Structure 1
Amino acid sequence: MIITGDNVDGISDLKASLYRTFEMKDLGFLSYFLGLEVISTDDGIYLSQTKYASDLFARAGIADSRTESTPLEPNVRFTPMDDTVLDNPTLYRQLVGGLVYLTVTRPDIAYPVHILGQFLSAPRTTHYAAVLRILHYIKGTLFYGLYFYAHSSLFLQAYSDAEWAGDTTDRCSTTSYCLFLDDSLIS
């Protein structure tokens, strides 16, 4: 439970009321929750998923120290007919699902994970190689995360981009966006 504010008596009263109503414990300051690592300072809160990402490396069997500078090769295009179909797509699906959850604190991988998520029904060896590339990129940027400033203004900025009918398979468009509250990425 996170209770914030500077009214110590009010916080104590609220906790006492909650203890009487619910069976609960005060576990102290939040540091780890559902794979999210939380570091709180006077200036703000830093969220990362370092341990969760390390667990993905283990699941994928990545033990080498190789890293990549980008999550995907520039200008790469994937189709449902690339290379050969994977014999057992279970690991591919698990890794892509894990990467989807990792995008909570790693918006830099959202686009490639979305692209590779389109091939869950019949993934191919090329798609699996791309998932491994994303994991090697994450290995080189393991401590990336999101920082939320404690004393920021409520200035909201939004950016978007689109590629119209860029998918060569079905001519679908790709749209992306990001929202900032002052200097903090929130979506």
Structure 2
Amino acid sequence: MSDLDALSYYLGIEVRQGKEALTLGQSAYTSKLLERSGMTECKSCVTLMEERLKLTKASTMAKVDATLYRSIVGGLCYLVHTRSDIAFNVGYVSRFMEDPREDH
């Protein structure tokens, strides 16, 4: 057995160890996910989801690339490990993985 020093990165999760706290983050993973979804130029916001947003499966909007949509939602599911505040939103958009549309 050998000592590999302090843990700094594990399964895509960045680990920062201080004297008082252990902090987990996924900033590099988040950047890659934003790049893959074409949202690198988007501005951040405090409100994670439009209030009272009604999405339905019976949309008349054009279909989007289902494989890309599922990949992004899967990436968001992994991001929930360090960002529990987005769990509701990820669960909500994952309802539409069967038949994704541009705007529900």
Q: Same fold (TM over 0.5)?
A: yes
Q: Which has the higher contact order (CA 8 A, sep 6+)?
A: 2
For residues 85 and 75 of structure 1, what CA distance do their matches in structure 2 show?
Answer: 23
The secondary structure found in structure 1 opposite 2:15 is: strand
Of residues 3, 7, 17 in structure 2, which corresponds to 1:40? 17
- Unaligned 5+ runs, structure 2: none
Shift of 1:53: 0.3
Higher strand share: 1
Paired letter, 2:57: P
Deviation of the 1:67 alpha carbon? 2.2
Alpha-carbon deviation of 1:110?
A: 0.2
Classify 1:76/1:65 alpha carbon distance in 2 versus 1 (closer, same or farther; 3 Å).
closer
Q: How high is the TM-score relative to the length of structure 2?
A: 0.90
Which residue in 2 is equivalent to 1:125? 102
Q: Look at both structures and tell me which one has the larger radius of gyration over its CA atoms.
A: 1
CA contact (8 A) 2:64 2:100 kept: no
- TM-score normalized by structure 1? 0.52
Q: What stretches of structure 1 of length at least 5 have no aligned partner?
A: 1-18, 20-24, 128-187
1:158-177 correspondence to structure 2 within 5 Å: none
- Can you list the C-alpha shifts for 1:34-53, whole angstroms capped at 9, x where unaligned? 11111111112011111110
Give identity over the alignment, percent. 38
- Say if 2:10 is the partner of 1:29: no
